[in-house]
Amino acid sequence: MISIVIPAYNEEDGVAELYRRIVEASPAWQEEFEILIVDDGSRDRTVAICEEIGATDTRLKVISLSRNFGHQAAVSAGLMHAKGNIVTVMDADLQDPPEELLPFIEKIRDGWDVVYAIRTKRKENIFKRISYWAYYRILKRLATLDIPLDSGDFCVMRGEVVDTMNRLPERNRFVRGLRSWVGFRQTGMPYEREARFAGEPKYNFRRLLKLASDGIFNFSYRPLQFIMHAGLVLAGFCVFAAMFIVIQYLTNWTVIGFNPRDARGWTSIMITVLALAAVNLVCLGILGEYIGRLFEEVKHRPTWIVKRRINMPDNL
């Protein structure tokens, strides 16, 4: 069975069409399916419309969250409830067209565990496109794992992969990051992201920023390590600068018209400031290193994930 997980927040104008398009595309898959709409605290008629459809077609299921928990939480809730041995995540606004699913499903049948979509064209404004483009490249630089470029949440996964993701206990979930983190055999598939079918984007700038920083900070503590490295470099610089100032004082050396003896106390103050700055930066770096390690631990992610056992019982 295929489970189609769809987070929806105030998507009353799109859900009926979404349902229609999924049903229309479904014969090609030659598989049973369930549509799992996760209503993320919608305040419009999204749930009512789903209920109406659900009354005539039990393949449409709805999980209604008690309030708006955000897209990533909604996707996670949907994955928790998905029963299928093939699971797909798509948006409710038809930006990820159901007609495109077939080649993804075929790849899973070919033996891939995760087939994620790579967006080739975005029908969005230039500012958004540039930001996304830059973001994914920064994320790749910073994150300690290989998060594929330009791939969103739209994907098809084998049920085992979803079970594994469900077992990761962290609360602040960046789904596409967790998906790469769990590993297994993954491949990308290019597709053109459509424009929104109806309604307004539910991500505003603040939410996008939150998503973007979740991606970076949940998967790396390189920014903290950066403090450490910058601290060491600056500390080195401070030591050299202090030495220079002492030499300048002792040799009574005038540099660009300035002689340290012109201002009393210059040498001692400069040395104090530089030494303290160096110590400070290195100490911050050390703290950062510990915070980073704490952070890794509190996420409670498993240290490894077993893909397959041979000649061994599965429940070890």
Choices 85-93, 107-115, 275-283, 299-307; region in contact with ligand UDP by CB under 6 A: 85-93
* 7 touching ligand UDP, by CB under 6 A: yes
Integer Cα distance of 180 and 168 in angstroms: 13
The correct pick among 190, 201, 236, 302 for binding ligand UDP (CB under 6 A) is: 201
Which residues within the stretch 50-79 sit at the binding site for ligand UDP (CB under 6 A)?
Answer: 68, 70-71, 74
* 72 touching Mg ion, by CB under 5 A: no
The correct pick among 11, 34, 113, 150 for binding ligand UDP (CB under 6 A) is: 11
Buried b (16+ CB within 10 A) or exposed e, 58-92: ebbbbbbbeebbbbbbbbbbbbeebebebbbbbbb
Which residues within the stretch 155-194 sit at the binding site for Mg ion (CB under 5 A)?
Answer: none
Q: Residue 80 gets which letter from DSSP?
A: H
Which residues within the stretch 204-223 sit at the binding site for ligand UDP (CB under 6 A)?
Answer: none
Nearer to Mg ion, 34 or 93 (CB): 93
- The letter for the amino acid at 143 is A
Task: Using alpha carbons, list the distances in angstroms from residue 219 to 74, 272, 302.
Answer: 20, 38, 14
* 12 touching ligand UDP, by CB under 6 A: no
Integer Cα distance of 39 and 51 in angstroms: 11
Q: How far is the CB of 152 from ligand UDP (least distance, A)?
A: 7
What x-and-dash track marks residues 79-118 binding Mg ion by CB under 5 A? ------------x-x-x-----------------------
* 135 touching ligand UDP, by CB under 6 A: no
* 89 touching ligand UDP, by CB under 6 A: no
First to last CA, the chain: 27
* 288 touching ligand UDP, by CB under 6 A: no
- The letter for the amino acid at 187 is T
CB-neighbour burial class of residue 148 (10 A; exposed 0-12, middle 13-18, buried 19+): middle
The correct pick among 12, 34, 40, 113 for binding ligand UDP (CB under 6 A) is: 40
SS3 308: coil
Helix 205-219 × helix 175-182 angle, to 10°: 20
Q: Give the residues lining the site for ligand UDP (CB under 6 A).
A: 7-9, 11, 40, 68, 70-71, 74, 91-93, 95, 201-203
Q: Give the residues lining the site for Mg ion (CB under 5 A).
A: 91, 93, 95
